[in-house]
């Protein structure tokens, strides 16, 4: 099977899966999600993604009916049913099913579990990407990986229509993150990234980038940076589950980057090696 879906214990081809109309996601986007990739039967950084998933759910008082180990077990059970060696793995939980009401009334409502696995590969890190900027009009809980992504969708659509790959959000002069990535800059040999406050999602790939910097003695500054600093950076980098460290060549139509190629190569090579090492473990055990 190429792609596989799951909903509350039922497996099947994605196009055949049926979801109740009264699942609260239909009315309110009332849920959280996470995602990563797999290769050679190994789900990459699964523990970190699962910890964030349960943390997001807890912050919204969503009662996940499974433990972390049970969730991981289902993901691996599904992974064994698909044909591809490289896959995108997505899972979400919604608050539950019931007649439409803004208040969810009870914390005892069992959450619904959705999972999708489909063939896909992590991005080629050698490619350069084009960016646009936009004012960040999202709410003030961006640290929760919620399903409320309408602003992100519209920003991504605008970027696509302009022939670009990603949209960089800013609140006034402060750069926050992208529509579906974290953003970082390199300036004068220092890796700069926004702090993990309520204005950005604490990205797993972001954390691995920081670890890679420290491994190679690249200074890290976890502090807010401005739009002006963004445009004057030696390199502009984005990171996400499927694009560990992509460099930009253009932002708002202005050429950028290319001024710290040695640092960029060190980070990209290190992250690629880390992924390949971790996902080959099942082959050598």
**Residue 28 φ then ψ, to 5°:** -125, -5
State whether residue 275 is helix, strand or coil. Answer: helix
- Chain segment 226-242, per-residue pLDDT in tens: 999 999 999 999 999 99
Please count the helices (runs of H) and the strands (runs of E) in the chain. Answer: 8, 15
- The gap from C-alpha 40 to its chain's centroid, in whole angstroms, comes to 21
**Which residues on adjacent β-strands are paired with residue 166?**
131
The three-state secondary structure class of 126 is coil
- Is residue 259 annotated as a catalytic residue, yes or no? no
**Same domain as 152, residue 46:** no
Of 101, 119, 137, the position where a domain reaches its end is 119
Residue 115 sits in the same domain as residue 164:
no
Q: What does the H/E/C string look like for 27-75?
A: HHCCEEEEEEEEECCEECCHHHHHHHHHHHHHHCCCCCCCCHHHHHHHH
What is the average pLDDT across 184-203?
97
Do 153 and 248 lie in a common domain? yes
Q: Which one of 145, 158, 192, 211 is the catalytic residue?
A: 145
What CATH number is associated with residue 8? Answer: 3.30.470.10
Q: Does residue 106 have a pLDDT over 80?
A: no
pLDDT band at 282 (very low <50, low <70, confident <90, very high): low
pLDDT digits (tens, 9 = 90+) for 110-127: 899 999 999 999 999 999
* Over residues 7-11, mean pLDDT: 95
Comparing C-alpha atoms, which of 272, 284, 279, 271 is closest to residue 89? 279
Instruction: State the total domains in the chain.
Output: 2
Q: Are residues 201 and 82 in the same domain?
A: no
The residue range of the domain holding 24 is 4-119
Who contacts 137 (Cβ-Cβ below 8 Å, separation ≥6)? 151
* CA nearest to 116, candidates 22, 25, 12, 21: 12
The first and second tokens of residue 50, run together, are 């699962």
pTM higher than 0.85 for the full model?
Answer: yes
Assigned domain for 281 exists = no
Q: State the CATH number of the domain containing residue 270.
A: 3.20.10.10
């Amino acid at each position: 099977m190429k792609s596989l879906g799951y909903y509350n214990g039922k497996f099947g081809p994605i196009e055949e899966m049926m979801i109740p109309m009264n699942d609260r996601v239909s009315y309110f986007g009332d849920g959280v999600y996470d995602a990563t990739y797999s290769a050679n039967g190994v789900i990459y950084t699964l523990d970190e993604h699962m910890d964030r998933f349960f943390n997001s759910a807890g912050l919204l008082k969503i009662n996940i009916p499974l433990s972390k180990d049970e969730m991981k077990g289902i993901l691996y059970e599904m992974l064994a049913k698909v044909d591809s060696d490289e896959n995108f793995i997505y899972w979400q939980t919604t608050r539950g099913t019931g007649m439409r009401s803004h208040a969810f009334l009870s914390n005892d409502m069992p959450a619904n579990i959705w999972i999708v696995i489909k063939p896909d590969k992590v991005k080629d890190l050698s490619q350069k990407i084009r960016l646009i900027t936009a004012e960040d009009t999202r709410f003030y809980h961006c640290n929760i990986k919620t399903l409320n992504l309408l602003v992100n969708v519209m920003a991504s659509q605008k970027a696509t229509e302009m022939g670009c790959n990603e949209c960089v959000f800013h609140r006034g002069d402060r750069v926050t993150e992208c529509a579906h990535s974290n953003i970082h800059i390199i300036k004068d040999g220092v890796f700069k990234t926004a702090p993990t406050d309520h204005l950005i999602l604490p990205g797993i790939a972001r954390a691995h980038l920081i670890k890679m910097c420290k491994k190679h003695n690249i200074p890290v500054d976890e502090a807010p940076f401005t739009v002006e600093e963004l445009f004057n950076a030696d390199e502009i980098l984005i990171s996400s589950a499927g694009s560990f460290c992509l460099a930009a060549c253009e932002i708002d139509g202005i050429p950028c980057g290319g001024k710290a190629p040695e640092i960029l190569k060190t980070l990209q090579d290190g992250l690629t090696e880390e992924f390949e090492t971790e996902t080959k473990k099942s082959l050598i055990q």
